[in-house]
């Protein structure tokens, strides 16, 4: 990663890291993208959309563009990023690399593990980690999937269609594969797509049936399980990231 000798990335302004690496950072309104990088002969200009309302998301976008700067400068002269390229699922090699770069820059593995240790999983934990690392809740959710203590499954839906999902290795339940179909009708994701329902922070942990997202075996009963869904919704792009987990008594 970056050889700056920085242990806690929040202790050093990201714009100085960008300048230190030899790129210029500009913040201004962008239409149709969240971030952009333009490569010149020797320099590069990274632009971040000033309309992004969350400081943490801005930082994630800047770190993602810095990843392109470090790794892809000879590949394309201009690159635009939208919420679709900033999400983690199969986006092509370069986007994955830039996202992993940003994730590791903003949330170094050791520090992330330390902050999660012994903490019960909840939407509040993800939000407090986002505050702690000054990054987007979405990027924290993907990081938590990789490194967190509690197994969680992720489902990404766009325009009322499930696009991708991820299940941790060894997870005790199997997912009903709804790729290219609408989210389950009793899911929290469906409530957003069908009724534009967005839960307030304090109600963002919603109980769902096991059978909502997972295979219910014929000898099992939905009443014997406690599953929850927390949706990170981006209305502007009509996307929902559902985080689904089981709580054991």
Binding mask 91-120 for Zn ion (x = CB under 5 A): ----x--x----------------------
Q: Nearest distance from residue 95's CB to Zn ion, in Å? A: 5
- Pick the stretch among 80-88, 142-150, 169-177, 191-199 that binds Zn ion (CB under 5 A): 80-88
Q: Nearest distance from residue 53's CB to Zn ion, in Å? A: 20
CA–CA dist 181, 3 (Å, integer): 44
Q: By 3-state DSSP, what share of the chain in percent is helix, strand and coil, each rounded to 5?
A: 40, 20, 40
Q: Nearest distance from residue 57's CB to Zn ion, in Å? A: 14
Of the candidate residues 49, 85, 103, 239, the single one contacting Zn ion (CB under 5 A): 85
The yes or no reply on residue 34 touching Zn ion (CB under 5 A) is no
Report the relative pairing of strands 153-158 and 206-208 from DSSP bridges.
Answer: unpaired
**What φ, ψ does residue 241 adopt, rounded to 5°?**
-105, 110
Q: How many CA atoms lie within 13 A of 243 on its CB side?
A: 26
Report the relative pairing of strands 23-28 and 44-49 from DSSP bridges.
Answer: parallel
Rounded to 10 degrees, the C-alpha dihedral 123/139/150/120 comes to: -40
Q: Nearest distance from residue 80's CB to Zn ion, in Å? A: 8
- Pick the stretch among 85-93, 172-180, 192-200, 234-242 that binds Zn ion (CB under 5 A): 85-93
- Enter the tokens of residue 143: 């990081």
Of the candidate residues 47, 48, 61, 81, the single one contacting Zn ion (CB under 5 A): 81
Given the rule CB under 5 A, which residues bind Zn ion? 81, 85, 95, 98
């Amino acid at each position: 990663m970056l050889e700056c000798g920085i242990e806690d990335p929040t202790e050093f302004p990201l714009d100085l890291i960008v300048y230190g690496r030899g790129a210029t950072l500009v913040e201004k309104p962008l239409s149709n993208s969240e971030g952009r990088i333009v490569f010149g002969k020797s320099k590069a200009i990274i632009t971040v959309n000033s309309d992004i309302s969350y400081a943490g998301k801005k930082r994630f976008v800047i770190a993602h563009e810095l990843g392109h700067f470090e790794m892809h400068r000879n590949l394309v002269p201009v690159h635009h990023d939208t919420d679709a390229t900033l999400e983690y699922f199969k986006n092509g090699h370069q986007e994955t690399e830039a996202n992993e770069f940003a994730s590791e820059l903003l949330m170094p593995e050791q520090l992330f593990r330390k902050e999660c240790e012994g903490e019960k999983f909840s939407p509040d934990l993800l939000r407090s980690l986002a505050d702690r690392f000054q990054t987007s809740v979405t990027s924290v959710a993907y990081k938590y999937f990789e490194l967190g203590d509690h197994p969680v499954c992720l489902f990404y839906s766009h325009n009322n269609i499930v696009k991708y999902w991820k299940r941790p290795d060894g997870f005790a339940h199997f997912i009903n594969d709804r790729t290219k179909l609408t989210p389950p009708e009793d899911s929290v994701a469906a409530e957003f797509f069908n009724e534009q329902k967005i839960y307030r922070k304090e109600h963002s942990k919603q109980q769902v049936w096991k059978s909502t997202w997972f295979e219910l075996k014929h000898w099992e009963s939905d009443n014997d399980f406690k599953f929850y869904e927390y949706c990170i919704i981006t209305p502007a792009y009509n996307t929902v990231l559902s985080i689904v987990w089981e709580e054991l008594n």
